[in-house]
Amino acid sequence: MLVKLPALWALNANLDTLGMIRQLILSESQTHCEIVPFSRENDRGHLLIGDDGKHVAYIFQHNPRPASFTHEDLVVVAKYKIAENEPLDLTNGTWLHHPRLQPLSRNPGRLASNARESWRGAFRFVEEDPDRQLVGLRRPQMGALHAIHAHWTTSRQTATIVMPTGTGKTETMLATLLSAQCECVLVLVPTDALRTQIAAKFESLGILKLEGNSVLEATARCPVVGTLTSRPQTVSEVEQYFSECNVVVTTSALAGRCSIEVQKKMADLCSHLFIDEAHHAEANTWTDFRGNFENKLVLQFTATPFRQDGKKIDGKFIFVYPLKKAQAEGYFRPIRFRPIEEYDSIIGDLRIAEAAMDELDADVTGKHIVMARVSSKPRADAILELYRSLGRYESVAIHSGVRASEKEEAKAKLFSGAARIVVCVDMLGEGFDLPELKIAAFHDVRKSLAITLQLAGRFTRSRPDLGDPVVIVNTALIDVADELRTLYTQDPDWNLLLPLISTSAIDQEVISQEFFQGFGAFLDEVPLKDLRPAASMVVYKTRCADWAPNNIKNGFPGLTDTRHLYHSLNPQENTLVILVASEHDVQWSDVSSIRERSWELLIACWDRERNLLYIHGSGINGVYRGIARVLCGDGVELISTPTVFRCFHGINRLVLNNVGLSEHLGRQVRYTARMGSDVESRIGHAVRQGSTKAVLAGQGYENGRKTSAGAAKKGRVWSNLRLRVDTFTFWARAIGVKISNESIDPDTVLEGTLKPENICEVPDEVVVAVDWPHDVFSRTESSMRLLTPGVSEQSITFFDIEFIERDNNGKLILKVHSDELEAQFRLDLLSDEGRFDFEFVKIHGPDLNISFGRTERALADYFTDYPPVIWFADGSSLEGCAYVKLPDNLLRPFPVERMTAIDWSGVNITKESQRAERVSGTVQHKLIELLQRDESYQVIFDDDDKGEAADVVAIRVIDEDHRKFLEVDLYHCKFAGGAPGARLDDLYVVCGQAQRSANWLATSNRRTDLFTHLLVRDGKRIAAGRSTRFEKGDKHKLSEIRNMSRQMEVKLNVFVVQPGLSIAAAERDHLLLLAVTERYLNDTYEIPFSVYCSA
């Protein structure tokens, strides 16, 4: 029978409830034995007899009498039950007698010192050789170990080791402990689970103690390891605990909560500090605690040396083992990507779960486990129920909302193989070491590069008895950072892309680190890497052959005991960082001892190539002329208007949201400003005449990424960013390239301005359209949902917002509706002694809430904070109580010669929709017939219904002059109220729909959202058992176009299709309404506008 024997401990004690202190002699082992009953006097148990006939051990349920056995006998006391055909598990027991057990010494630290002495000369640098069955260190472990010793030969600076998950970071720590014969190492980890795992590795020494290993002599003892689980209260407690250990493992949170005295004593007692998973290490508790180890040797280990919050990891990168190399050398299995394309999120979850089940069915090893990743605890509950409803394999959940007992039970099921599916929030934390995790089912896509790479490492660990990993993702509804987007396309090669992304990210961190290492000494309390200057500066033209940063103190006359200057220079990058600390009297007291301290950050960067000096100041108001003269001489010249406005050059689709004009009225200058999205393109020529630019700020796209820029005539340039010092200099130099380019004309940025007016009465104009609030268009459509609490929930994709009527008091009534429900809201305009306000009130229908992310609120309250935009027939708009009216002299009637007459023969022009049945003889059916004759269209889509982008959408890929872009034609149809003629009512609605089309270009995500919107709506119709919305093409072609939209420019053309409008009978009011529509489309995003009508 197979018998599992317990570990043999030289020391296994809980010291003063602070945590276990243990030293291992022998690990748990297995052997085949015959089990025979045994009794001696009143002690009854069993005798284990090996295959060779020798006695292996005596086993008892209770302690036998001490006199019954000698020290040479092997005796185990354990709770056990002997069952036929099942192994006998004694691992919960202890050795009462064993020849290698020695009496415990009363001398604290004796076991630890003996262990350390045993390491002397016992470690060999031997690389593994599987062909010769040689157990040794892996190549990345060898490289890291040599790098550590080389670094410590010349430096005591904190060092960082970058090794992908699965390449052996922990064994590298063990090898460092032994090869350097560290006196006492404190190991900090981020989680309780990792503390347990790492402590166990140090206790056993991992592969270094495997039988037949060539790295460590058999005489080398295991270290004495303390697992610190409770916070020491006094210095004496720390001294007693640490003095008995070679290694102490604890969490950063626990260490950070200790008193300053206790922390300092820990540092005094330790020779080394190892930090595992160092990408967590920028929290204040880590940083403050680590400061106590300034004079000790500190190593940081991480698989992901970059943080999504932009902070840098301390320490010099002394060894970086690329993910690409780990794959090439066989440490990782290749990843197979299995995409799901489903635009209904509920069905998408089902498809992912079914795919995961299929992968388990196909697993020939019978060992693979699914990790189903979700984003929240409620989602975890729902997805767990989904997997359980499918049956076939047992499913468990592990996340912070699960009780500890249930979590341990779930882990036991996973490790035993009883459960094959685990649902987790985000990802199973570090310390959850389960190589059988081979199937990643992403119900919610991970947006973090660091976590994605860590997950890839966890799933790709190579083991001979396991197969290749699989990643399952619904590619239809994803919203991730640009650097990860290519990972989640329909057919990516993760094995190529992951190493490239990982290498690129690590290279950026190394370059950044080299930049900071170029600086001299600075304030210890203020690490340069933690400074976050705003992207704001003034720029000077310089005429010096070299700058003089060492003269910087001359730029701050009057330095006293209450005003201090600290500075550091990077001479290679010509960058100077300055901190000025000043003390001031407080305004609320005359007591001289009460003073406040303020800090100002300045960064000066000299661009030798372009003879420009960039100066950032956190005060943002000054131009720092004196500092510029000190650094670069009296010949400096502040770059101001108009040259400063060159910073907008190269920004595509620039949308100004802050425009300030200086308007000259005789000797007076009046400053006017307008703020809001897309202000620049709607500025009238009448306002522009006689005005000069004072302030411009806006957003657009540059080099394929969204960007922002601002400039003021007095010389300041800015962007809406917070940067590190190194990235600030990159940004500044990029601006310098534009400013120094004499071929750029700075006078073409601004075309005019508009001014909003607060009102308390609705204008007596015809409402033609209502738009969702701007906030809606700033988010992805799939992320926003409307719900009736406890009843139903649906994507905003299937809702529309429309104007209904004016009530008896002239107030506007709007409705939000879908196929299933309708709610009505009234806009109340309020005024009180010149103060204007507004609110939306629900007056009819069910309670309707809006949700996005983790926010849910009543839709009426949301509209009051983020009002819909109401458009009138004359081109004016109302947003809350802010009314914007177009100048009358800027509008000319739409040219009749640009209207296109359609032959409507055989069409009932009073019937608009062809419906799902494709009813012929309708306006839409006729239009689609005409469009199908154009072979350039790759997709023709019937989007008619509530929430539509247009009645008909036609898409093609254009290749002009070797430049590809997507052209989307949006056709808005309207039936005629009678025979073709001059009915103005026939035009109001369709022109309003046409105006709303511009919102599809509001953001880069919104452009892509247009195609997602179509795919989702077709999916819902198919799920309802009706015909597809595609008239040409299919969902695969549209998915391909959607992916193109992330890289290609998207251009819209908008068409009004109104057979009720006659060219012959068109009147001025009709043509003015069409002109208003065209002007809005052209002024916002330069969208061409066309009209199809009757002759």
Is the separation of the CB atoms in 370 and 436 below 8 Å? Answer: no
Q: Judge if 73 and 199 occupy the same domain.
A: no
Q: What is the CATH number of the domain that holds 339?
A: 3.40.50.300
- Interatomic CA distance for residues 529 and 523, integer angstroms: 12
Q: Are both 640 and 555 inside the same structural domain?
A: yes
Where is pLDDT greater, at 619 or 281? 619
Q: What residues form DSSP beta bridges with 704?
A: none
pLDDT-derived band at 744 (thresholds 50, 70, 90) equals confident
Residue 356 is assigned to a structural domain of this protein: yes
Give the rounded distance of the alpha carbon of 443 from its chain centre.
Answer: 16
Q: Could you list the beta-strand ranges (E) of 853-989.
A: 855-858, 869-872, 877-879, 882-884, 899-901, 939-942, 952-960, 963-973
In Å, what is the CA distance from 363 to each residue of 356, 369, 459, 469?
Answer: 11, 10, 15, 11
Mean pLDDT of 98-120: 83
Are 871 and 952 in a shared domain?
Answer: no
Express each pLDDT in 30-46 by its tens digit: 999 999 999 887 889 99
Residues 366 and 447 in one domain: yes
Residue where a domain terminates, one of 288, 321, 354: 321
Q: For position 483, what pLDDT does the model report?
A: 39
**pLDDT confidence band for 672 (50 / 70 / 90):** very low
Pairing of strands 159-162, 595-607: unpaired
Give the phi and the psi of residue 582 in degrees, each rounded to 5.
Answer: -130, 145
CA dihedral 555, 558, 559, 562 (to 10 degrees): -140
Tell me: do 296 and 427 sit in the same domain. Answer: no
pLDDT in tens, 780-793: 777 788 988 767 78
Give which of 170, 310, 335 is closest to 247, Cα–Cα: 170
Location of structure tokens 């004359």: 874
- The span from the CA of 424 to the CA of 455, in Å, is 13
Shared-domain flag, residues 460 and 568: no
Identify the domain containing residue 1055 by its residue range.
Answer: 892-1094
What is the average per-residue pLDDT within 592-598?
Answer: 69
Classified as helix, coil or strand, 496 is helix
Cβ-based burial of 265 (10 A; exposed 0-12, middle 13-18, buried ≥19): buried
Read out DSSP for 1039-1071? HHHHHHHTTSEEEEEEEEEEEEEETTT--HHHH
Domain membership flag for residue 1040: yes
CATH number at 1085 reads: 3.40.91
In terms of Cβ atoms closer than 10 Å to its own Cβ (0-12, 13-18, 19+), residue 335 is: buried
| CA distance linking residue 279 with residue 738, whole number of Å | 36
Burial 777-798, CB ≥16 within 10 A → b, else e: bebbbbebbbbbeeeeebbbbb
Please report whether residue 499 resides in a domain.
yes
- Check whether residue 180 and residue 131 sit in a common domain: yes
In the numeric block, which tokens belong to residue 464? 């001979």
Residue 525 domain-assigned (yes or no): yes
pLDDT at 332 over 90: no
Are 342 and 304 in a shared domain? no
pLDDT for res 677:
42
**H or E segment and range at residue 539:** strand 534-541
Q: What is the pLDDT of residue 668?
A: 45
Query: Do 881 and 901 lie in a common domain?
Result: no
The yes-or-no verdict on residue 516 having pLDDT over 90 is no
Together in a domain, 881 and 896: no
pLDDT-derived band at 526, boundaries 50, 70, 90: low
Q: What is the mean pLDDT of residues 1053-1070?
A: 91
More confident call, 313 vs 21: 21
| Number of domains, the chain | 6
pLDDT at residue 1001, rounded to an integer: 86
Q: Are 208 and 131 members of one domain?
A: yes
Per-residue exposure over 602-623, b if at least 16 CB sit within 10 Å of its own CB, e if not:
bbbbbbeebbbbbbbbbeeeeb
829, 856, 885 - which closes a domain: 885
Region 1034-1049: mean pLDDT is 86
Same domain, 306 and 176: yes
- Domain end, chosen from 97, 125, 144, is at 97
Choose among 229, 233, 264: nearest CA to 250.
Answer: 229
Residue 925 has pLDDT above 50, yes or no: yes
Q: Is residue 406 part of a domain?
A: yes
* 752 domain residue, yes or no: no
Q: Is residue 751 part of a domain?
A: no
pLDDT for residue 505 is more than 70: no
Q: What is the pTM of this model?
A: 0.55
Percent of the chain with pLDDT over 70: 82
For the ranges 261-270, 381-390, 659-668, the lowest mean pLDDT is seen at 659-668
Residue 633 exposed, middle or buried by CB count within 10 Å (0-12, 13-18, 19+): middle
Q: 113 Cβ partners below 8 Å, 6+ apart?
A: none
Residue 516 lies inside a defined structural domain of this protein: no
Q: What's the pLDDT tens digit per position in 443-483? A: 887 544 444 545 555 555 556 677 778 888 887 665 544 43
Tokens representing 320 are 């970086």
